[in-house]
Structure 1
Amino acid sequence: MTAPAATDGSDVDAGLPPRPAGGRDPDARQARASQSFWAVVVAVPAVFSVLRLGVEAGGELQTTLLLVANVGPVNLLAGFLTTAARLLATGLVAVFALGAVLGVSVDRLPGYRRPLFARWADLTPTWFVLASFLLALVTWQILYLPLLLPAFAAAFQLRPEQLHELAVARVLIVAALLGGYLFLLAPTLLDAWRQGELLVMALFGVPPVLALSIAGPLPGAVIRPLASVTEAAVLAMLVWAALPVISTPVLPLTVTTVQTAPNATEDVRGHVVVVDDVNMVLLQEQGGVRYVPTDQVKAQVLCPSEEELPRHRLRVRDFHVEDSLLEGLGRRVRPVHRVDAACRATG
């Protein structure tokens, strides 16, 4: 027989309950899980901002130092929020949805260690989860917004049984919700069918049906492998999606017309680092830093990047499917202007 774990009596003398044998204190585990979650939330934006400056500088130390000296923390934060907020919201939504499903599944298995995502979901306040879904709602492309329906149902464990006690009433409520959803997207689905956009049809049609049955619990036999696979898959997805975010420019892309001779001009395509009374410092798109005397600058236009050009010809009630709700509202206030000829000529 194994002897009970010995204690030094300090906890008992102090009037505290004895520490569990083996040091497996649930409160300590929760504290470590909470610290790891918030460390990731805070550290990821800071690391991304630093990496973006290095990539923007082409990996050159002196150019990186030039950007660090002239790109302030407010600009970095604004650049991160406008380009990486979608990635951050995706990671949080995935963690909370998977964590809730895994957590309710593990609750049925006494003595089973809770997966990491489940512990994170348990320790996160409800307001933060709702804020994460709200951030995804305004930053995700409209094309992917239907995926929030099953994610929300999973994160808050929503089931059709909670709608009404009577089965007939539940069927009518679900039918009314799906009918309203179909009415909203019917023109877009018809256009997608005519254009052969099967992926768009799947993204708009499958998630509402999936939301009806995605809430847990899951069978006990699949929890352990599913927890490991999903956690690794989410991390791999975030790394894969982070690569284009890191390479997204922090500075605006412009074409600057510079007078190089009395009757000659040159268009310089690049990013403006800083402007003072003497020089305009340009980080050229093809690499290198160029100092242009301010009095030689004759014109300058702002150019869109290739990522901003649309790939689908579909709209949802006057909103382009590749715009977020925030971008769509912004285009209504200030419509997109025609791309300047200088951007096309030097692109």
Structure 2
Amino acid sequence: MTALSPGETAPAADSDQQPVRRGSARSRRSALLRYLGIRLLLIVPTAWILVTVVFFLMRVVGDPITAAMGGRLTTEQINERKEAAGLNRPILSQYWDYLTGLLHGDFGRSQDNRQISEVIATNGAATLELVVWALIVAFIVGVPLGRYAATHRDKVADVGLRLFAILAYAAPVFFVGLLLKLFFAVKLGWLPVAGRASTNVELALQHVSPKTNIMIVDAFLYGDVGYIGDVLKHAVLPALTLGLLTAGVFLRLVRINLLQTLRSGYVEAARARGLTTRVVTGRHAFRNALIPVVTVMGMYIAMMLGGAVLTETTFEWKGLGYQLAQYLTARDFVAVQGIVAFLAIVVALMSFLVDVIVSLIDPRVRF
């Protein structure tokens, strides 16, 4: 190696390293975009498979006209309705019309001649509101308790919280809902028994503009504090019922992953530098322990949509789940098919969204 003269500098090392870092960042961005592009394209076949399964499963039970009107109409009247609905055509022709309609946002019509897309727009907002409330409960209950259980491993509190997580996950949703209603609504009288709001509040919010069909948003737009409080009181029990189901899962995930993270090398290095246990847990271990929660969130949102059917029926929360139960009772399988197909598409989109979030927050993901 030759010595440098007083007027010379040595930029070579920095200039060599800088393009490598820029190249590495560019390659990672391009790999990320390629990965997300592939996942976006996979939404189409995923949604297609789901709606196809729904279509043919609905046909296993027979044609929807006979299922809904059998015993109430004569054979001739049923045949006339089947002819008008195109149900006498070959099943592949019906399937093609079904897919074509979905591409244009047409999910079919119910037996009372109501567009299913209209039902989705009206009642879907109620289900969205319930799922958001339930997710808030799941995070508020599951994440802090999971952290507490991990930091008190094998103590009485940890054992009790693990038992609570198992019971919260395993208990039937409708059973938990009935218990909460009996205790908080019937016995104590603290909260309403059912509904999304009191009758007078619902009537008043029908005239709010713009109307979102999300009750809490409409109450804020109306501007009455009493109405906002009434809507929140009606949301407590349904949100607890559905949220506790996922809170148990979050609790166990956070506990297990936090315990694993606390045993990792970089956490031991942080302790060796003299950082306190609180700082090590909060700054280094806890954030990484939350990544699996985000990863499985999409799956459990799908599970919440399934649990919403029982929760909404228990509390007469008039969302998609409640409406789906009504259509099942009436044997309106065209309406059932439309709602289930819509939920299947939502699940596929949520899966993509979770992949996007995980790829952005987790540096360990490789593409």
TM-score of the pair, normalised by structure 2: 0.28
TM superposition score normalised by structure 1 = 0.29
Whichever structure has more helix as a proportion of its residues is: 2
